[in-house]
Amino acid sequence: MAAVFKASTSSATQKLWLHPTRDQHLFTSLSERKCKKRSVLLRTRAISGKLDLDFRDPSWKQKYQEDWGRRFSLPHITDIYDLETRTTTFSLKKNRTPLDDGGVSSTDMRNGYVNKDDRALLKVIKYASPTSAGAECIDPDCSWVEHWVHRAGPRKEIYYEPEEVKAAIVTCGGLCPGLNDVIRQIVFTLETYGVKNVVGIPFGYRGFFEKGLKEMPLSRDVVENINLSGGSFLGVSRGGAKTSEIVDSIQARRIDMLFVIGGNGSHAGANAIHEECRKRKLKVSVVAVPKTIDNDILFMDKTFGFDTAVEEAQRAINSAYIEARSAYHGIGLVKLMGRSSGFIAMHASLSSGQIDVCLIPEVSFTLDGEHGVLQHLEHLLNAKGFCVICVAEGAGQDLLQKSNATDASGNVILSDFGVHMQQKIKKYFKDIGVPADLKYIDPTYMVRACRANASDAILCTVLGQNAVHGAFAGFSGITSGVCNTHYVYLPITEVITTPKRVNPNSRMWHRCLTSTGQPDFH
């Protein structure tokens, strides 16, 4: 939902685009202006999907929630097929008593199933004012509006005959800690339902069309120990063929369920596959599992691989700290992942407690001048003799020459800010005649390739299980994630609208600034 708040004055009209659930700086500047100038006449409207809301209408909240419910309803195979359900074959008991139809006895249910009408609340903080730190407001009064999404988990009724199902798993994009954990758990859960035919598609979407790449039969025995190592057991790649060609391959292989493990781009691809399958009226459930080290998928508390990345990043930061502290006028510079979102840099800086300056894409800064980063580094060397800097890869792109080049996934290839920062620091201290011993560390590929830590392994396990539960429940074009500590299903169309970004007005960023003690670099 994007809301447009208009503040009309005799001289100008200001617009701020707001979103109640995305990490953006909301409404603050307008509120501050209103406090300073009481004569401002405020008129408010909001655009939610195709719905135009007028906050002067007493029923605007009801209309908004109805629109939200429509947008976050989950696509289902019964949208195109008239299908009968059957009793689930998934049970929590090992010694379950099978029914004649292959289902599970009602006495064996143990209340382990999720009702189709269960919902989870996306946000739980009621902000009293738009000026509250991190406030996400829909209207100027910060009215409380509930945002409900579908709870994830196994259902009592399913839409597939497990013995007839052929399920495929594909891992797309770059490497990420936890990929093998998700693959493993999807296979385990499919077998628990009774699926006998599970295959892996090698090297991302490329495996659907590249000659010589054959699908890999998967079973519990095959994937039993793959979680003990990093990388992807199936291999990864970026980009792929046309959606129609991929669906041609899915149709030819007689695949009934496709599990896509990937980030924003891979989710967009999964949604395109889902739409093409619906267009052809194929009974195929396409379910995504969110994978991104950057933690930049909308609405999700976190994505798998993020906790491991932060933990591994601390090792690099600690090395930079030791190098800097041990040298005369030592400077440690660490570049971490984060194309458009600085979550890894922010959390690693917070957790290490050794960072003096943290630079992220969401917060602008200057390097030169009286209030620039470089002069602050000089101050730190004079004050304590050393300093440590952490930068996200997407930080400072406005200070560099832009490139129009893109990778195979269509992402703009970023200029290397870490190297640029390294060169600027060396030149600055050379020009002022102050010795500085700079050590630059880029642990990117070391972080991507490592095994998932305990926290991520648990998240991967639950996400993998829920992906299978979602497919058997008949959903398609959905992703499985954790929102507000609860596991939920979301329509892919809603999570791929824009990357999640650090809110510069959030308490977490304020905590990071408190930890580093850095000033505003403007």
C-alpha–C-alpha distance, residues 349 and 402, integer Å: 27
Tokens 């396990």 belong to 461
For residue 220, the surrounding DSSP H or E stretch is helix 220-223
306-449+505-516: CATH homologous superfamily? Phosphofructokinase domain (3.40.50.460)
DSSP secondary structure letters along 353-422: ---SEEE-TTS---SSSTTSHHHHHHHHHHHHSEEEEEEETTTTGGGS-----B-TTSPBPPP-HHHHHH
Q: Determine the Cα–Cα distance for residues 277 and 257; give it in Å rounded to an integer.
A: 11
Cα separation, 369 vs 521, in Å, equals 9
Contacts of 7 (CB under 8 A, 6+ apart): 13, 14, 30, 33, 34, 40, 41, 42
d(CA 309, CA 289): 18
The reply to whether 294 belongs to the active site is yes
Q: Which residues are annotated as a binding site for ATP?
A: 174, 238-239, 263-266
Helix (H) or strand (E) holding 331: strand 330-336
Whether 306-449+505-516 and 157-303+451-496 are alike in CATH topology: the answer is yes
State the Cα–Cα distance between residues 312 and 178, nearest whole angstrom.
14
* CATH class (in words) of the domain with range 157-303+451-496: alpha beta
Strands 51-54 and 41-48: antiparallel
Q: Which residues are annotated as a binding site?
A: 174, 238-239, 263-266, 292-294, 337-339, 393, 445-448
pLDDT per residue of the chain (522 residues) written in tens, 0 to 9:
334 333 333 333 323 334 433 333 333 333 333 333 333 333 345 555 557 778 888 999 999 999 999 999 999 999 998 999 999 999 876 555 555 555 555 545 456 899 999 999 998 899 999 989 888 888 888 999 999 999 999 999 999 999 999 999 999 999 999 999 999 999 999 999 999 999 999 999 999 998 889 999 999 999 999 999 999 999 999 877 789 999 999 999 999 999 999 999 999 999 999 999 999 999 999 999 999 999 999 999 999 999 999 999 999 999 999 999 999 999 999 999 998 899 999 999 999 999 999 999 999 999 999 999 999 999 999 999 999 999 999 999 888 877 766 665 566 667 889 999 999 999 999 999 999 999 999 998 899 999 999 999 999 999 999 999 999 999 999 999 999 999 999 999 999 999 999 999 999 999 999 999 999 998
Give the active site residue among 23, 294, 307, 356: 294
List the Cα angle 330/334/336 in 5-degree steps: 175
Residues that constitute the known binding site for Mg(2+): 264
- Structural domain boundaries of the chain? 157-303+451-496, 306-449+505-516
Beta bridge partners, 53, equal 46
66 φψ region: left (φ > 0), alpha (ψ -120 to 50), beta (else): alpha
Report field, pTM of the whole predicted structure over 0.85 = yes
